Homo-oligomer: A and B are copies of this chain.
Amino acid sequence: MTERFNVAVVGAGYWGPNLARNFAASPDWNLAVVCDLDLQRAQQVSDRVGGVPVSQSLDDVLADPAIDAIAVATPARTHHPIVMAALDAGKHVSVEKPLADTVDRGAEMVDRARANDLVLLTDHTYCYTPAVMKIRELIADGSLGDILFIDSVRINLGLIQPDVDVLWDLAPHDLSIIDFVLPGGIDAATVAAHGADPLHTGKACVGYLTLPLAGGAIAHVHVNWLSPTKIRQMVIGGTKRTLVWDDLNPQQRLSVYDRGVDIAEQSKVTTTDARAANISYRLGDTWSPALPEQEALSNMTAEFAASIREKRTARTDGASGLRVLSVLEAAKSSLGAGGAPHPVQNTTIERVS
């Protein structure tokens, strides 16, 4: 039987209870302690998982040699100091998104994890849903061919947030998913962001992101707090097949269309007009893969353990969190500049090392 790792959940607010419940139920983990400055809140989380120890002191937790890893669910601005301290104490770390409050601080965290040979996992929870894991698999095994476009829509009546606009509130979901399913992750050199605040709330309530991808492809995200119709849909067009993910249709979440536009091979060297003439349609079957019923966070805890055990980076590693953060920062600049495309900071781990 495999040994269990000891984990401390740090932060007992909104997301901490979910982390605690999933680590407690995992065969890979032993939930060793719940840590929060507010001890009563830590105790409430502990009570719901059968009463594990609680602590008010992060220092104590990090000083404990029995602790293998920490799962950080504190406000974004505290991620940098907590994660850096944990990495310096030799702990593996999972951290809620966004990775950090600035790209520079996030890059420092990624570097430190690498330097210390520790796992740093960004908890892009959505990536661990069965649907998204299946999409990643279908792209990785070539089922879709080369990716031509990704169009993601996430709209609903949403509470207007006091501190962030709709892009920072909702688009991280879409961006982390796009980063997860694309081999190599998001590689956009620029991003253009458009927003509107028609209710004059002081921040964008409707937002659009456009990201040119390598090879002429494009990704586009529409997020919206003001729509009474709820849509959560992503269309991913490939040279071989096209996939539609409709997250609100539990009976058929994923549809893979064996249809598309073909270009006759010889035309690739001909002139534009000749090419147009050589384009034809393929009308094939549609296929909807069965998806297992799994909780995303349970898959995340398994991946966290596996990456530690196998001494590799996690599927949603620090670098992925950094790429998402870089796009969001660039989007903010583009929005401020009236929608002109803005360069995305090149934040590959190679850059900083």
8 Å CB contact of A276 from B192, B195, B201, B286: B201
Is A66 an interface position by the 8 A CB rule? no
Whether the pair B208, A196 counts as a contact (CB closer than 8 A) is no
The digit string for A78-89, where 1 denotes a CB below 8 A from any CB of B, is 000000000000
Chain B residues with Cβ under 8 A from A275's Cβ?
200-202
CB contact under 8 A between A261 and B225, given known A230-B251, A288-B287, A340-B341: yes
Stretch with Cβ within 8 A of B (4 or more), from A49-57, A170-178, A212-220 = A212-220
Given contacts A229-B255, A287-B288, 4 further A-B pairs with CB under 8 A are A198-B215, A206-B218, A210-B339, A227-B237
Residues 260-301 of A at the B interface (beta carbon under 8 Å): 260-261, 263, 268, 272-273, 275-277, 279, 281, 283-290
Instruction: Write the chain B residue with the least CB distance to A237.
Output: B226
Distance between A196 CB and nearest chain B CB, rounded to angstroms: 4
Give the Cβ gap from A154 to chain B, nearest Cβ, in Å.
12
Q: Is the beta-carbon distance between A201 and B272 smaller than 8 angstroms? A: yes
The A133-189 residues at the B interface (CB cut-off 8 A) are 146-149, 151, 155, 157, 159-162
Residue A242 at the B interface, CB < 8 A? yes
Residues of B within 8 A of A32 (CB): none
Measured CA separation A226–B150 after assembly (Å):
11
Q: What CA separation (Å) do A125 and B301 show in the bound complex?
A: 38
Instruction: State whether the Cβ of A252 lies closer than 8 Å to any Cβ in chain B.
Output: yes
CB distance from A216 to the nearest CB of B (A): 4
Task: With CB as the reference atom, state the residue of chain B lying closest to A216.
Answer: B198
- A–B Cβ pairs within 8 angstroms, 15 of them: A147-B198, A149-B226, A151-B155, A151-B224, A157-B281, A192-B339, A198-B216, A199-B261, A200-B275, A206-B218, A226-B260, A228-B242, A229-B251, A286-B288, A339-B340
Q: Are A220 and B208 in contact (CB under 8 A)?
A: yes
Chain B nearest Cβ from A206, distance in angstroms: 5
A38 interfacial contact with B, CB 8 Å: no
Task: Check: A197 CB closer than 8 A to any chain B CB.
Answer: yes
Residues of B within 8 A of A195 (CB): 218
